[in-house]
């Protein structure tokens, strides 16, 4: 295919926030841009109520109560909580990795998630209602970025399959489209990075992928609610896929009968495809995928097909066509 050049430490032993963080200047204000045409997207509300030390990244986060699910064992220690919090991709805020420096203005309460499209029971969930009424689990998962760095973290969330079951998809539904927020005064890069018409960030899964037992809607990490740089207040986690499939700060989940367009595949179709399954034998056009670098330690590990979760997901991709890995 021709290609273009466009592109374990337990939480109790983690370094305390105060030892790592200090007070820093807040971001300068940016112009209000509204919420496009999406009526249920979360309001660009007064962010003064959210003002916390250091953007609220690891400070004053609520502890979440969740059942530990030990079914998904790790082959490596957990990544240090602080290391995982200070190295992230969240292009709405910055193209750098220090996202925690740029999220002070981002308001994550109140927050709603609308479930729409081809379902019998469409509805709008308040995020706190969702957390209170859904069965939360803590799962330790490997996370693999398409940029060949990796981490291992304990997510807290609800199985996506449980949400799917509650809204009862129609028989013709084959895919789910996920949509993130649009609020340019809080997320500066939505006003100018890449092609602005592509915002808000959008992703998709097949219904079979979404109802796989591994797919998780995460509302917390390391036993506490999600920090903003991790995708607060709710994000998708699909550990057998590259991290860009894990859309952050979800506001809409829509059921459809066709494969939805996705942000990165629209921006760079020769480099980022719909499937994005981890495969060490299929390199990115600009770098190898044969190994990964662990956050915090810098350790190099060999990459594994489906990020080591083949026993759970390989049956979704038979016959194993090459395009399943783009």
Closest to 176 measured CA to CA, from 135, 208, 216:
208
Q: Are 91 and 193 in contact (CB under 8 A)?
A: yes
Q: Strand, helix or coil at 315?
A: helix
Task: Determine, yes or no, domain membership for 120.
Answer: yes
Q: Are 284 and 270 in contact (CB under 8 A)?
A: no
| Average pLDDT over every residue of 260-282 | 95
Residue 37, judged by CB atoms within 10 A of its CB (0-12, 13-18, 19+), counts as exposed
| Average pLDDT over every residue of 287-306 | 97
Task: Determine, yes or no, domain membership for 263.
Answer: yes
Task: Determine, yes or no, domain membership for 234.
Answer: yes
Closest to 198 measured CA to CA, from 123, 264, 273:
264
Containing structural domain, residue 180: 37-314
| Average pLDDT over every residue of 142-146 | 98
Task: Determine, yes or no, domain membership for 192.
Answer: yes
Task: Determine, yes or no, domain membership for 94.
Answer: yes
Identify the pLDDT of residue 197.
87
| Average pLDDT over every residue of 1-27 | 33
pLDDT at 81 over 70: yes
Report the chain's mean pLDDT, rounded to a whole number: 86
Q: Which comes out higher in pLDDT, residue 180 or 55? A: 180
pTM equals: 0.84
Q: Which of 40-54, 84-98, 247-261 has the least mean pLDDT? A: 40-54
| Other beta carbons within 10 Å of 326 | 18
Binning pLDDT at 50, 70 and 90, where does residue 56 land?
low
Task: Determine, yes or no, domain membership for 1.
Answer: no
pLDDT at 49 over 90: no
pLDDT at 93 over 90: yes
Task: Determine, yes or no, domain membership for 2.
Answer: no
Identify the pLDDT of residue 192.
85
Identify the pLDDT of residue 324.
86
| Average pLDDT over every residue of 30-54 | 39
Number of domains in the chain: 1
pLDDT at 251 over 70: yes
Closest to 34 measured CA to CA, from 163, 198, 168, 183:
183
| CATH number of the domain within which 203 lies | 3.90.420.10
Identify the pLDDT of residue 271.
93
Rounded CA gap, 141 and 306, in Å? Answer: 12
Q: Are 148 and 292 in contact (CB under 8 A)?
A: yes
Task: Determine, yes or no, domain membership for 21.
Answer: no
C-alpha gyration radius of the chain: 19
């Amino acid at each position: 295919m021709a290609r273009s050049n466009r592109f374990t430490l337990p939480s109790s032993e983690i370094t305390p926030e105060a030892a790592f963080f200090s007070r820093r200047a807040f971001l300068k204000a940016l112009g209000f841009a509204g919420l496009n045409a999406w009526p249920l997207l979360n309001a660009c509300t007064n962010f003064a109520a959210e003002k916390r030390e250091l953007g609220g990244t690891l400070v004053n986060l609520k502890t979440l109560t969740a059942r530990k699910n030990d079914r998904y064992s790790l082959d490596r220690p957990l990544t240090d909580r602080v290391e995982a919090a200070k190295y992230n991709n969240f292009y709405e805020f910055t193209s750098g990795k220090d996202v925690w420096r740029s999220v002070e203005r981002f308001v994550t309460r109140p927050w709603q998630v609308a479930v729409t499209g081809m379902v019998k029971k469409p509805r709008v969930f308040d995020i706190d209602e969702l957390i209170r009424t859904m069965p939360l689990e803590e799962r330790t998962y490997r996370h693999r970025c398409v940029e060949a760095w990796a981490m291992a973290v304990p997510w807290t969330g609800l199985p996506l399959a449980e949400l799917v079951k509650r809204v009862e998809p129609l028989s013709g539904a084959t895919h789910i489209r996920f949509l993130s927020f649009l609020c340019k005064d809080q997320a500066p890069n939505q006003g100018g990075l890449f092609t602005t018409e592509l915002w808000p960030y959008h992703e998709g899964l097949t219904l079979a992928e979404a109802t796989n037992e591994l797919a998780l809607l995460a509302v917390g990490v390391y036993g506490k609610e999600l920090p903003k740089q991790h995708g607060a207040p709710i994000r998708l986690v699909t550990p057998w896929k590259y991290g860009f499939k894990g859309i952050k700060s979800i506001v809409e989940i829509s059921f459809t009968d066709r494969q939805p367009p996705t942000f990165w595949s629209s921006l760079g179709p020769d480099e980022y495809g719909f499937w994005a399954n981890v495969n060490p034998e299929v390199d990115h056009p600009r770098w190898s995928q044969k190994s990964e670098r662990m956050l915090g330690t810098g350790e190099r590990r060999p990459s594994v097909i489906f990020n080591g979760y083949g026993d759970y997901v390989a049956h979704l991709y038979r016959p194993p066509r090459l395009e399943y890995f783009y």
